[in-house]
Amino acid sequence: MAVNAFLFPGPGAAEAGMGMQLYNVALPLRASFDFADKLMQPLGVKPSKACFVGPDAELKKSSYAGPALLALTQGLVEFFKQKRVTFQMVAGQGFGEICALVAANILTFEEGLLFLRKRGEILEAAWAKAPFFVCTQSGLPVEELEARFKPLARRPEVVAYHSPDACTLAGEEGLLKRIMPLLASKQVKVGPVEPGMAWPHPSFAEAAVEVAAEFSRIKWQRSGTRELHSSTRGEWVADLGVLADLQRELCVAPIRWDKTLRSLFARGANTVVELGHGQNLVNYARKVDNGIRALPAEDSKSLSLALKLAN
């Protein structure tokens, strides 16, 4: 019997064109985007345009990417519900945790959209005062990577642990551009250096307090219908009273996606479905446990397969 966990992407996952193949297949997407567009357009964001058209430069900003990903993922959640697929657990990477909270019926869709827009604006303003950049690496064990960096006077820091051999690093743009090509090989893949405004970072300490205060103003449900697993603490959140604290941590503390996946599996999840765009989260899941059923839901073919295996 499938014990399903829905996974929600966050920083770095959004790109122009996401969701286009699903729009005419998963009909609840239309209602999701219509609602989000009507709510967000006065604030300068149209999630359907951001998803289908871009530009990618806007989607690097979490104030755009967050509402766009939430509109997409919530439409898919409703599609799975319509097809009578049950899911017992949710987890979101970084700001994807808000998508998970909405899916778990802890936050309303409306409150999730508005909070993600405000959260993004707060962090982008903080980033503009003290910019940092990020890049990804996969193929080299993270412990070995950190050991290589330790002797350096100036070194990047890990802001996300994705799996035993994949992480996201943050630092000055010039530093990353000098160091990361030295790691690249046939076994080690290094991603591009990009602005890191959507990722957690210690420089966001003051902004994180503002984000937590903003979240505390929301009238959210004190009990959800699914287990929430935190992407910073890497554990099941049994007491939802800590959610505002978690929102602060999500701004400054490294993402521990590797631990989050282990937490899901320890609680009995044997099938994980990544909603939205891309397959990074399910690829990380396979690296953590190669016996797990890990499926994306990003186009008509993968959505059909996910429906079969999650039932």
Distance CA 286, CA 294 (A): 7
CATH of the domain at 231: 3.40.366.10
> Are 140 and 276 part of one and the same domain?
no
> Total domain count for the chain?
2
CATH of the domain at 175: 3.30.70.250
Q: What is the mean pLDDT of the chain?
A: 93
Query: How is residue 251 written in tokens?
Result: 């701004």
Q: In the predicted model, is pLDDT for residue 299 greater than 90?
A: no
> Are 151 and 300 part of one and the same domain?
no
- Which residues is 158 bridged to in the sheet? 169
Distance CA 63, CA 114 (A): 10
β-bridge pairing 271-275 and 189-190: unpaired
Query: How is residue 103 written in tokens?
Result: 């899916």
> Are 222 and 253 part of one and the same domain?
yes
Contact 167, 148 (CB under 8 A): no
> Are 9 and 92 part of one and the same domain?
yes
- pLDDT exceeding 90 applies to what percent of the chain? 78
> Are 110 and 213 part of one and the same domain?
yes
15 vs 5, 60, 122, 123, 127, CA distance in Å? 24, 8, 22, 20, 21
pLDDT of 294:
93
> Are 191 and 165 part of one and the same domain?
yes
pLDDT (mean) for 54-73: 91
> Are 43 and 183 part of one and the same domain?
no
Q: In the predicted model, is pLDDT for residue 268 greater than 80?
A: yes
- pLDDT exceeding 70 applies to what percent of the chain? 99
184 vs 110, 180, 195, 259, CA distance in Å? 43, 7, 20, 26
> How many angstroms from the chain centroid is the CA of residue 140?
22
pLDDT of 1:
67
Higher-pLDDT residue of 96, 307: 96
Distance CA 309, CA 150 (A): 44
* Tens digit of each residue's pLDDT (9 = 90 or more) over 198-234: 999 999 999 999 999 999 999 887 667 799 999 999 9
* Tens digit of each residue's pLDDT (9 = 90 or more) over 236-263: 999 999 999 999 999 999 999 999 999 9
Higher-pLDDT residue of 206, 186: 206
Domain end residue (candidates: 147, 180, 195): 195
Domain end residue (candidates: 171, 195, 219): 195
> Are 226 and 272 part of one and the same domain?
yes
Name the pLDDT band for 95 (thresholds 50, 70, 90): very high
> Are 45 and 178 part of one and the same domain?
no
In which domain, by residue range, is 175 found? 133-195
> Are 73 and 155 part of one and the same domain?
no
Distance CA 153, CA 132 (A): 17
> Are 40 and 188 part of one and the same domain?
no
Picking from 3-12, 220-229, 282-291, 302-311, which range would have the lowest pLDDT averaged per residue?
220-229
* Tens digit of each residue's pLDDT (9 = 90 or more) over 34-51: 999 999 999 988 999 988
Helix/strand/coil (H, E, C) string of the chain?
Answer: CCCEEEEECCCCCCCCCCCCCCCCCCCHHHHHHHHHHHHHHHHCCCHHHHHHCCCHHHHCCHHHHHHHHHHHHHHHHHHHHHCCCCCCEEEECCCHHHHHHHHCCCCCHHHHHHHHHHHHHHHHHHHHHCCCEEEEEECCCHHHHHHHHCCCCCCCEEEEEEECCEEEEEECHHHHHHHHHHHCCCCCEECCCEECCCCCCHHHHHHHHHHHHHHHCCCCCCCCCCEEECCCCCCECCCHHHHHHHHHHHHHCCEEHHHHHHHHHHCCCCEEEEECCCCHHHHHHHHHCCCCEEEEECCHHHHHHHHHHHC
Domain end residue (candidates: 174, 195, 216): 195
> Are 266 and 299 part of one and the same domain?
yes
- Which residues is 57 bridged to in the sheet? none
pLDDT of 19:
87
